[in-house]
Amino acid sequence: MLVFFGILIFWVVHGVALGQAPGLHFDEAWAANEAYRIAFEPGFWPLQGQSAYTVPWNLYPIAAAFKLFGTEVWIFRGVSLAYVFTGFILIRKALVIWGEKRAGDLFFFTSSFLLGLVLNHRFAVEINTFHVFCFGLLLFGLSRLINISSNRKVSLFFVALAVFFGVTSHVLFLTPSLAAALVPLVLGIPLVRDTRVMLLALGAVLSPFFLRIAFLVPERDKALILAAGAGACVLALFFGAGRVWGTAKLRQWAMITTGVISIPFIFLTLIFLEGHWSVLFSVGGLQKSILFGLTLLPGLVLFRLQRKAFWSEKFKPFTLFFFYLCIGVGILMIKPTPRYFELPEVVAALALSLALARYPRSVLSFYFVVVAVFFTLQFSENYLQPIVQGKVRESKFSFLFIKDDSRDHLSKQKLSEMIAAWGCRFESVQSPDSRVMEALKFLSHTSYWKTNSQVQCPSGGVRVYRTVDYAVGHSILAKAYGFTIEKSEGPQ
């Protein structure tokens, strides 16, 4: 019963106003337009995504949904959210196999009340949705491999499938893949031959993908280092992982060093779990964002009380995996933003679930009541309502080396409705901002763009600017939702 209630909470929290909040991110808009082309443009079957280090596997089910149910933002995000849900089901199954059924049942609660994860899952891009599915499949395969002695080939197949689709969909998935391979080496657990053969086979299958990165990514030096490094890691694991390296004391120092190095990256993960701070700044300032700490604080206190358990023999692999994952994401994605830390945030939610599972029902009830109250107030008042009502204003947030801005939270949906109400079609709209045009292009295929046939669009069409970029102009038609719209005087 507990898990079914958690699933209900998951869909309510993640699904409410899914088509309206957040505003349509540029990466989302690009992906949605690509899925639209797959669905309705004959012969269009791309194998390269937005960059040379991506393959748009996640867009093909979305394209099928467009053909079956129509083109809407909520359908686009709904299919992506289904990836997350399936990944969470697999993660729960992995926890059950690991002997942590109660933590698996609690996982849906903890992940649904951590605002950073909820907001990430509303961005329908591969690193925040499809990667969660691949990650769930990876953990499921690993848990079977460790705890179920029979059918090793099936378990290895699940692991290989997760790594292949995860890495090719976006190269960032290389971080959990390598983290999973590094943990047994540091713990002094040699990998048996069939596991090393699987790693070598994966390296061979993925080699064309990494060659594409090496030759097609504009930053050639970084691309070559990434491709060569990935190949070197696979070969080193194949030839070296069959034996125990170093002494027990050396491996202990390696674990301690890893923990120390991971501290700033874990700090980033916890900061990002609190949500997108820039949105809070744009709707009310720091005094509102401080309250978000109360959603995570009780859990961190309980986590601290259980900290010794995470260095026990049972949990040591999990702890090391978390360290390597945080370090890997932090190094590979030099620009730290909440969306890139999706998988470390999922593992943090897992750790919180494991800690909470060791407390009696009364403590858990108190914790979830406190968290639910603060989460609901903050999520509704300071996030959903401002975006749905178009009250977000563009602002930038900076804290230490963390930078974020709210431009992609601006409601292009509201903007589309307004322009369509003036009788304008998409062809009549211009903007110097390609990110805005990409979003409006997809929204023109949805119910947000219902052109009023009884109103004549201004002669020459309209030109849209983000208000922060708007200089002195003329013929201003409206200033709304963070945008300035003026009558166009023709092509510029």
Residue 427's pLDDT is what? 92
Ramachandran angles phi, psi of 295, nearest 5°? -75, -25
Instruction: Match 């300032």 to its residue by tokens.
Output: 285
Residue 290's pLDDT is what? 47
Residue 287's pLDDT is what? 46
Residue 6's pLDDT is what? 86
Residue 196's pLDDT is what? 79
Q: pLDDT by residue (tens digit) across 38-83?
A: 999 999 999 998 888 899 999 999 999 999 999 999 999 999 999 9
**Positions of the chain with pLDDT lower than 70, given as ranges:** 220, 235-243, 245, 276-311, 399-401, 473, 490-492
Residue 383's pLDDT is what? 77
**Cα Rg, the chain, nearest whole Å:** 24
Ramachandran angles phi, psi of 478, nearest 5°? -165, 155
Average pLDDT, the chain: 84
Q: How far is CA 32 from the centre of its chain?
A: 16
CA–CA distance, 465 with 481 (Å, rounded to integer): 11
CA angle, corner 10, sides to 8 and 15, nearest 5? 100
Instruction: List the structure tokens of 489.
Output: 């005087």
**Total-model pTM:** 0.92
CA–CA distance, 228 with 230 (Å, rounded to integer): 5
CA–CA distance, 202 with 194 (Å, rounded to integer): 12
Candidates 75, 1, 69, 68; CA nearest to 31 is 75
CA angle, corner 5, sides to 2 and 271, nearest 5? 95
